[in-house]
Amino acid sequence: MFIGEDPVHIKTESRSDIAPLVLMPGDPLRAKYIATNFLENAKLVTSVRNMLGYTGYYKNVLVTVMSSGMGMPSMSIYAFELFHFYNVQKIIRIGTCGAVSPKAKINEILLGDKIYSESNFAYTYNDFKEHVVSTSNSLNEQIVNVAKELGFENRLHKGMLTTMDVFGPYIDYERVLNRIPKEYEILGEEMEAFALTHIANTMNRQSTTLATVVDSKFSNVVLSIEEREQSLNEMIKLALEAIIR
């Protein structure tokens, strides 16, 4: 194995430019949005390949918001470098997902306590053959408690997500869902959570995933830009409040 002494995809002036607590949206511009609207004294600390990372203060606690890109390969690169080179302790992925259960409605937030994937990602990564990984219990408990404090616990659903190698709406993903063991109740599908969770577990760090439902196989509703932004703002605040506990 060749790792080297310095990260290849994150470049900062100092290792201290990355905080031990990290939120990871997929979109670099969403990272910029969070830094601008939620953090104080935020500064851009890395921009290699336009994958933006910002560090600033949320309620006097230093937090980094680092984009992951789309898909497990991209997520795995940034999660690994954050954990290995920057000694990050906690990562909450904040993203969007498609609902595949009638329990999850458009604009609601899913908390993935377990992640299923039929991908060979973990087997390639370190010969891990299981298809289900568990996220951090303590982070999940903090998120549930904060949701109650903020008054939208009824819009938060904790359960299993599935991570796919393809963008669900562009395929007949019923084929994939039908292959999942029947004892697993999948709430939503997305593309990054399994990789983040497996790497965090392998490196003995904490991680979990929050995902706002923006489309559903049970609904024809299409959110407006304003509705999507409001929903994402609630998820961002929930993640920030939970990660600093």
Adjacent-strand bridge partners of 47: none
243 vs 174, residue with greater confidence: 243
Structural domains of the chain sorted by starting position, each given as residue range(s) with its CATH number in brackets:
17-243 (3.40.50.1580)
**Contacts for 212 with CB less than 8 Å, ≥ 6 apart:** 95, 96, 97, 107, 108, 109, 110, 228, 231, 232, 235
How far apart CA 14 and CA 45 sit, in angstroms, is 9
- Go through the chain and tell me how many residues it has: 245
pLDDT in tens, 76-119: 999 999 999 999 999 999 999 999 999 999 999 999 999 999 99
- At 1, the pLDDT band (50, 70, 90 cuts) reads low
Which candidate in 113, 165, 172, 215 is catalytic? 215
- At 128, the pLDDT band (50, 70, 90 cuts) reads very high
Catalytic residue list contains 172 = no
- At 133, the pLDDT band (50, 70, 90 cuts) reads very high
Tokens of 199: 């790497």
Kindly tell me the burial class for residue 227, based on how many C-beta atoms sit within 10 Å of its own C-beta (0-12, 13-18, 19 or more): middle
Cβ count within 10 A of residue 61: 14
Number of H helices, E strands in the chain: 7, 10
The residue among 9, 204, 6, 174 whose CA lies nearest residue 89 is 204
pLDDT in tens, 219-232: 988 777 677 777 79
The residue among 211, 122, 204, 207 whose CA lies nearest residue 160 is 211
pLDDT in tens, 23-65: 999 999 999 999 999 999 999 999 999 999 999 999 999 999 9
- Return the percentage of the chain with pLDDT > 90, whole number: 88
Whether the full predicted model's pTM is greater than 0.75, yes or no, is yes
